[in-house]
Amino acid sequence: MVIAVDFDGTIVEHKYPKIGKPIPFAIETLLQLQKNGHILILWSVREGELLQEAVDYCQSKGLDFYAANKNYPEEDIATASRKLNADLYIDDRNLGGLPEWGVIYYAIRAMENGESSFDKIMTSTREDSRVRRKKRNFFIRLGEMFERDGY
């Protein structure tokens, strides 16, 4: 899969324009996803020198992205669309927030194995799972709230 990954709030804590503290297991998980054959693209609001600082930070941790804010390294950023062509986007601004990196890794591995239901992946409690979701999925909780309140 091609996976677009945000930087601020996803790989590091929000301190934009500075680089925040690393978010636990972000780099390690992304490195493992690369080892599993996934193509990673850095997808950030950062541009110019600030983008290069993010790229350099990741490279200092051993993480090299296929491209940054573009679909492929040779793409002309001046004429390219800011919308990346990716199979999956990992971003702290997702509805429901950013899951723990262990949950993200498990969800991607489950998708590789043909489990296509987001709800099933994010709420799985299979016995062979080494990573368990501590909370029920946001949408399940929301649905239960609506049912309880008679909507």
Residue 101: φ, ψ to 5°:
-65, -30
Quick one: pLDDT at residue 95? 80
Range 1-92 has CATH code 3.40.50.1000: yes
Quick one: pLDDT at residue 103? 87
In this structure, the dihedral spanned by the alpha carbons of residues 25, 31, 33 and 36, taken in order and rounded to 10 degrees, is -140
Amino acid at 113: N
What is the percent of the chain with per-residue pLDDT over 70, rounded to a whole number?
A: 76
Quick one: pLDDT at residue 15? 96
Q: Is the pTM of this model over 0.85?
A: no
Domain spans of the chain?
Answer: 1-92, 99-151
Rounded CA separation 73/84 (Å): 12
Rounded CA separation 50/80 (Å): 19
**Mean pLDDT value across residues 84-110:** 90
Q: Which two tokens stand for residue 64?
A: 């090299």
Using omega within 30 degrees of 0 as the cis cutoff, is the peptide bond preceding 99 cis? no
